[in-house]
Structure 1
Amino acid sequence: MEDIHVILKEMTEAGVDGVLATIIEVEGSAYKKEGASMVFKKDGTQVGMLSAGCLEEDLAARIEHNHLGEKTETLIYDMRSYNELSWGEGSGCNGVIHVLVEPVTVELIQKLQQVKICLDKRQFVTSVKFLNSSSNERDCFITEDQEVFGGVAEDLPHLLPLVKKVNPGKQTLTHSDDVFVQTYEPKPRLFVFGAGKDAMPLVSFAGKSGFSVTVSDWRPALCGKANFPDADRILQGFPNEVMPDMNVTPDDYVVVLTHNFQKDREIISYLIDKELRYLGILGSGKRTKRLLGTREVPSRITSPIGLSINAKGPEEIAISVVAELIHLKNSSTFKRRPARETS
C-alpha cells in the first residue's frame, strides 16, 4: 500500500504520461498482494513495484512493443507451473496474479491530485475502478465523509453499497467481475523526539518503510534536513515550545530518544495521558521507571524499544525498532513485551 504514496507524489508533482498497473486479485502466493500499484513512465522509468521482478519486465515489454495500456484491460499471470516455458519457472511467486493496466490520462492525474489532498489531511479515500470499461473515465473516489469525485452520475447510486464492503482503517479490498474497490490510507505518523546519531537511521528506515516522520529536537546543529532527508517535518525547539501545539492522535507512533533525562521526562509528561498507537522510550525498563517515578512501566509504554534481536549499534537498533513499528502497524493482535530490567 505504501507504493501509492510514492506514485501520488510522482504523478501529482511531476505529472506522468504512461501506464498505471494495479494488482486486483491474487490466487495463491505472491510477493505483493491486491492493491499494489506501479507506474511505467514513457521515458522507461518505473515508480512502485508489483513483484520482485517477475512481472515488471514483461509488462514493460508489452507497453513498449504491443501498445499495452492504451486502454484499460486486465492481464492474468499464472505463476504456478514449473514448465520451463511457463511464468512459474524460476519466479518467487506461486500464484495467479491479475493485473489491471490503464492509461495515465490528464483526468486520472486530476483525480489523484484530489486523493493526495485528502490523504494529506489524514482522510481515508476509497477508489472504485470499473473493470468492464475500456477507459478509466468512470472510475471514481469516495472520501470517508461520503463525498464523491470523478466518475459519471449514473453510477453514483450504486457506489455506496460497494464502499461499505471495504473496512476503513484496514488494507481491505473487494473485487468482482465488474469493479475493484480499495481504500487508500494516510501514511502512519511517527514522531521522533531526539536528533542524535541513533535517530538518523531510525528516521531513514521508517521513512522508507512508509511512515510520515516528524523529528523534534532543541539543538539546531542536530535538527536539520541535512541529517534527516527522509523526515517530512522537522520541529526545532525545546519540549515546552513544541509539545503544546503537537496534535498527536490515537493512530500515531512516538519514540523518545533524546539521551537527556530531564528532556525525556518533560516530553513524557506531555504524552503520558495521551492515547497513542505506540509510545516507546529508549533505554532500559529500569531507566524508564526512574523517568516515570513508578515501580512498573505501564503497559501502554514500550521500554526498551525494538524487537529483541540482540541489536548493537545505531543501524541494528533502528532496524529492530522499525520492525517493531511495522509489526504493530500490520497486526491487530500485537502484544507489548514486558520491560526488561537490564541497564
Structure 2
Amino acid sequence: MDEIGAILAARRELGNRDQGAVLATVVHVRGSAYRRPGARMLILPDGRRIGAISGGCLEGDVAKKAWWFTADGRPSVRVYDTSSDEDAVWEFGLGCNGEIQVLLERLSTPAVQESLEFMETCRQSTGGVTAVVIRSQPLSGFSVGDRLHWSPDGGIRGGVPQRWPDLAAHVDETVRERRSRLVGLAGCEVFVEWIAPPQRLVIFGAGHDAIPVASLAKQLGWAVTVVDGRPAYATPARFPLADRVVVMRPENPLSGVAIGKETAVVMMTHNYIQDGRLLREILAARPRYLGMLGPANRADRLLHELGISRESVDVHAPIGLDIGATTPEGIALSIISEIQAELAGRPGMKLRHRRSSIHAPAIEAGTAQGLPLPDAERPVCEIGQLEQA
C-alpha cells in the first residue's frame, strides 16, 4: 500500500479514537531533500508513525514534538534547514543541503478530516487540487490551515472562493501540469497541491510471471487489474494484492476493463492469437503506456497483420529496461521500472550520469514577501539545537 493509502486506512481504523494524532505534511522544499512537497506522515497517539517526510533524519524529532507544537489545537509550520555545514547538522543525521517546511495539524480537526475525505474522493476519480494557507499576515483574514478543495467535477469545498483572489489561475496550472506549487497571494502564502489518483495498471495475462508484476506495482500504490481468459488462472487467490481480477470474454476482451489515457497496459499472455485480438482494441483505447512481453519481431509481426506500422504507434516491445533480468521477479522489476520512467518522462539511466538535479525544483509562483514565520513557529535551533527545542 502506498503512503497516502496507508494514512487514509489508519484514519478509518482510528475512527473516533484519533484524539492526539498529528498529520505532518511537507509543504515546501528549497534545495536538496529526500521527499518532495506533499509527502506526509501520520503520528498516532501511541507514537507509531505511518509514512515519512524525509529519509529518516527528521521523523523522530517531529514525532517527539508534534503534540507540543499543536497543543493549542492550531496548525503549526516548522522549518528545518539542513543546508548548514555545522557539525551539529551531521550529528543529528541531517545534511541533505536543503530547507524543508512541515505543516503539523491535529487529525481530529474538522479541516483535516475534510481534507482527508477529499483525498479519498480524488483517489477514486481523476484527481483534484487542494490549497492550504501556510503563512499569513495578521490582518489578512487568513489563518494557517485555511483550505479550499477543487473536485474534478468543478465542485469547491472548504470555504468561500471569493476570499482567495487570483488563485483560480494557479489551480488551472496545477491541474494542467500535474505539479504542486507554492503561491504568494495578498497577505498569505498558499501550498497548492495536486492530489493524484493511483496510477492504473492493467495486466493482460495471469501466468506465474504476472504475479510479481502485480505485487511490485501494488507496492508503489498503483491500482492493478489482472485480466485473463482462463478462469483457473484469473482468481483473487493467485493475485491477492490486485484490486480487480477479471475473466476475459473472448468475444469482448475489454468488457469490464477500463483503459483510459493515463492507464499503463502490460501484455504478457504468452498467446500470439489472443494478443492479436487484444492489440487492436488496446491501441484504440490510447493508453498512456503499452508494453508487450516477447521479442521485437513478434510485436512487428502482430502489428503488420493488423495493418499498423510500427512507427505510427508507441509500443514498448520487448517490454522493460535492460537490467539483465532473468527471473520472473527480476523481469517484473524491469517492467515496472520502465513504466515508472515513461510516466515520469525520464530515460531510465544511471543517476550518476545525470547532469542536472534529480528532482525538478519546487514551483514558487509569486511567493509572498514579508511573511516571516512567527517566532513561536520557527525552530529554536535552525537545526543544531533540535534536541533542545
**Range of TM-score over shorter length:** 0.7 to 0.9
CA separation in 2, counterparts of 1:25 and 1:181?
10
Taking structure 1 as reference, are residues 47 and 68 closer, same or farther at Cα in structure 2, changes over 3 Å only?
farther
CA separation in 1, counterparts of 2:38 and 2:182?
10
2:337 corresponding residue in structure 1: 323
1:185-217 Cα deviation digits (max 9, x unpaired): 111211001111111111111111132111111
Alignment of 1:110-189 (within 5 A): 110-122=114-126, 124-131=127-134, 132=136, 136=145, 138-152=146-160, 155=163, 159-176=167-184, 177-189=188-200
1:338 corresponding residue in structure 2: none
Q: How far off is 1:262 after superposition? A: 1.8
CA contact (8 A) 1:129 1:180 kept: yes
What one-letter code is carried by the residue in structure 2 that aligns with 1:56? Answer: E
**Could you tell which deviates more after superposition, 214-223 or 303-312?**
214-223
2:318 is aligned, of 299, 304, 322, to: 304
1:339 corresponding residue in structure 2: none
Taking structure 1 as reference, are residues 10 and 266 closer, same or farther at Cα in structure 2, changes over 3 Å only?
farther
Taking structure 1 as reference, are residues 103 and 66 closer, same or farther at Cα in structure 2, changes over 3 Å only?
closer
2:283 corresponding residue in structure 1: 272
CA separation in 2, counterparts of 1:90 and 1:114?
35
- Where 1:166 maps in the other structure, the secondary structure is helix
Identical-pair percentage: 33
4+ residue runs of structure 1 moved beyond 6 angstroms? none
What one-letter code is carried by the residue in structure 2 that aligns with 1:22? Answer: T
5+ residue gaps, structure 2, are 137-141, 349-389
1:341 corresponding residue in structure 2: none
1:306-327 Cα deviation digits (max 9, x unpaired): 0111211111111111111111
CA contact (8 A) 2:266 2:292 kept: yes
Taking structure 1 as reference, are residues 35 and 239 closer, same or farther at Cα in structure 2, changes over 3 Å only?
farther
Taking structure 1 as reference, are residues 28 and 321 closer, same or farther at Cα in structure 2, changes over 3 Å only?
same
Bigger relative contact order, structure 1 or 2, given CA contacts below 8 A and separation 6+? 2
- Where 1:310 maps in the other structure, the secondary structure is coil
CA contact (8 A) 2:133 2:189 kept: yes
CA separation in 1, counterparts of 2:29 and 2:209?
39
1:231 is aligned, of 242, 256, 276, to: 242
**Could you tell which deviates more after superposition, 82-91 or 109-118?**
82-91
What one-letter code is carried by the residue in structure 2 that aligns with 1:118? Answer: C
Taking structure 1 as reference, are residues 269 and 67 closer, same or farther at Cα in structure 2, changes over 3 Å only?
closer
**Could you tell which deviates more after superposition, 23-32 or 148-157?**
148-157
TM (normalized to structure 2)?
0.77
CA contact (8 A) 2:128 2:175 kept: no
Pairwise CA RMSD of aligned residues?
A: 2.7
CA separation in 1, counterparts of 2:302 and 2:25?
48
Taking structure 1 as reference, are residues 205 and 169 closer, same or farther at Cα in structure 2, changes over 3 Å only?
farther
Q: How far off is 1:182 after superposition? A: 1.0
Does residue 23 of structure 2 align to residue 20 of structure 1?
A: yes
Q: How far off is 1:242 after superposition? A: 4.3
CA separation in 1, counterparts of 2:130 and 2:279?
39
2:60 corresponding residue in structure 1: 57
5+ residue gaps, structure 1, are 336-343
- Where 1:222 maps in the other structure, the secondary structure is coil
What one-letter code is carried by the residue in structure 2 that aligns with 1:96? Answer: E
Give the paired residue count.
331
Taking structure 1 as reference, are residues 293 and 178 closer, same or farther at Cα in structure 2, changes over 3 Å only?
closer
Q: How far off is 1:64 after superposition? A: 5.3
1:8 corresponding residue in structure 2: 8
1:78 is aligned, of 81, 84, 107, to: 81
CA contact (8 A) 2:129 2:195 kept: yes
- Where 2:154 maps in the other structure, the secondary structure is coil
2:296 corresponding residue in structure 1: 285
Taking structure 1 as reference, are residues 22 and 12 closer, same or farther at Cα in structure 2, changes over 3 Å only?
same
- Where 2:251 maps in the other structure, the secondary structure is helix
CA contact (8 A) 1:203 1:230 kept: yes
Taking structure 1 as reference, are residues 257 and 165 closer, same or farther at Cα in structure 2, changes over 3 Å only?
closer
2:361 corresponding residue in structure 1: none
What one-letter code is carried by the residue in structure 2 that aligns with 1:140? Answer: L
- Where 2:216 maps in the other structure, the secondary structure is helix
CA separation in 2, counterparts of 1:5 and 1:90?
28
CA separation in 2, counterparts of 1:145 and 1:334?
34
CA contact (8 A) 1:30 1:92 kept: no
1:41 is aligned, of 35, 41, 44, to: 44
Taking structure 1 as reference, are residues 153 and 265 closer, same or farther at Cα in structure 2, changes over 3 Å only?
closer
1:119-160 Cα deviation digits (max 9, x unpaired): 3022x2111111236663x31211244311113576255542
Q: How far off is 1:59 after superposition? A: 0.7
Taking structure 1 as reference, are residues 193 and 239 closer, same or farther at Cα in structure 2, changes over 3 Å only?
farther
CA separation in 2, counterparts of 1:239 and 1:168?
38
CA separation in 1, counterparts of 2:66 and 2:230?
51
TM (normalized to structure 1)?
0.86
